[in-house]
């Protein structure tokens, strides 16, 4: 159990500190077509859209079905870039001397939220997608790591506390943080078709995908995940995708007694393994972060 908790802690430190650009290994982002055939997921050819030395990570599709946001190491700091899926053009949206991480499109459709790291602090900010303006959402003392929007006023966040991360909600109107669970991993999402949220945690030395009822605060298990699969993503129709053992797996939350099923091999593109994933709202594209120097 202690080793597993340390894994969550090290993962947090490796991703959200301002030293990230100097300490993490090379990662690249691959994108492939995604389809559903007879209830099964099918993956097309993985294409490397970053293909350079350095850190490119944390992909998130924008609902315009045309672009992908991601974090990129530029010089000695990180910026938020936008990749156009049609033209393959890349645009630096944040272009600042500070570090930004975890770009997440917001409910209003005109902004995305980021972790803004400066002077040892990790704050939550909102940036305009057109690059013109930015504003603070949370600039308190808590070290915000990862986040996902519940609605336009409430966001689920991880906060570094002691030797791990705990799970908290932040209400923007009240500017108030409230702890809801003592230990969480890095993947936070709103569950499609509901206001409930998902996160991953350890219970009795097992790695679980969890559901948080944002109205009642009730937490329950959904499915056990592979130990090394600290990242997952949801499809719009309720499937969960994880990467493990050089394969992609899915779990169908809408099917009774569903278990994880492998649907694609990724070893040819990601021989050193994969971590983060993202699927667009239309379920036609999948983004995958591949680790290592072997692409």
Structural domains counted in the chain: 1
Quick one: 208 exposed, middle or buried, by C-beta within 10 A (0-12, 13-18, 19+)?
A: middle
In a domain, residue 142? The reply is yes
Q: HSE (CB half, 13 Å, CA atoms) of 42?
A: 6
In a domain, residue 289? The reply is no
Check residue 164 and give its pLDDT. 87
CA distance 232 to 239: 10
Q: Which domain holds residue 11?
A: 2-284
State the first-to-last Cα distance of the chain, in angstroms, to the nearest integer: 33
In a domain, residue 293? The reply is no
Which residues contact residue 10 at a Cβ distance below 8 angstroms, ignoring those fewer than 6 apart?
none
In a domain, residue 177? The reply is yes
pLDDT tens over the chain, length 295 residues:
344 444 444 544 434 443 344 455 689 999 999 999 888 999 999 999 999 999 999 999 999 989 999 999 999 899 999 999 999 999 999 999 999 999 999 999 999 999 999 999 999 999 999 988 999 999 999 999 999 999 999 999 999 988 789 999 999 888 899 999 999 999 999 999 999 999 999 999 999 999 999 999 999 999 999 988 999 999 999 999 999 999 999 999 999 989 999 999 999 999 999 999 999 999 999 999 999 764 3
In a domain, residue 247? The reply is yes
In a domain, residue 158? The reply is yes
Contact 76, 21 (CB under 8 A): yes
Check residue 191 and give its pLDDT. 98
CA distance 274 to 269: 9
CA distance 275 to 277: 7
Check residue 161 and give its pLDDT. 87
CATH code where residue 19 lies? 2.120.10.30
CA distance 81 to 92: 4
**Which of 290, 283, 280, 293 is closest to 83 using CA atoms?**
280
Contact 80, 114 (CB under 8 A): yes
């Amino acid at each position: 159990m202690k080793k597993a908790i340390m894994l969550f802690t090290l993962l947090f430190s490796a991703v959200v500190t301002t030293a990230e650009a100097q300490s993490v290994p090379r990662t690249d982002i691959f994108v492939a077509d995604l389809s559903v055939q007879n209830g099964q997921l099918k993956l097309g050819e993985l294409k490397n859209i970053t293909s350079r030395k350095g850190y490119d990570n944390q992909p998130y599709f924008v609902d315009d079905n045309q672009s992908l946001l991601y974090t990129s190491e530029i010089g000695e700091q990180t910026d938020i870039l936008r990749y156009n899926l049609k033209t393959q053009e890349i645009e630096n949206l944040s272009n600042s001397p500070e570090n930004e991480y975890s770009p997440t499109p917001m409910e209003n459709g005109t902004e995305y939220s980021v972790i803004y790291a400066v002077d040892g602090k990790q704050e939550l900010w909102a940036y305009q997608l057109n690059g013109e303006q930015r504003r603070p959402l949370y600039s308190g003392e808590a070290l915000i790591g990862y986040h996902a929007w519940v609605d336009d006023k409430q966001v689920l966040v991880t906060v570094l506390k002691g030797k791990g991360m705990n799970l908290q909600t932040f209400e923007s109107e009240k500017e108030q943080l409230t702890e809801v669970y003592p230990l969480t991993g890095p993947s936070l999402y709103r569950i499609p078709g509901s206001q409930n949220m998902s996160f991953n945690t350890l219970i009795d030395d097992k790695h679980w995908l969890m559901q948080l009822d944002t109205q009642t605060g009730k937490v329950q298990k959904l499915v056990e995940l592979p130990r090394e699969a600290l990242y997952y993503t949801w499809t719009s129709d309720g499937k969960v995708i994880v990467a493990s053992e050089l394969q992609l797996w899915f779990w169908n939350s809408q099917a009774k007694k569903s278990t994880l099923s492998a649907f694609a091999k990724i070893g040819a593109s990601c021989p050193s393994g994969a971590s983060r994933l993202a699927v667009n709202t239309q379920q036609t594209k999948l983004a995958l972060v591949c680790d290592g120097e072997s692409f």
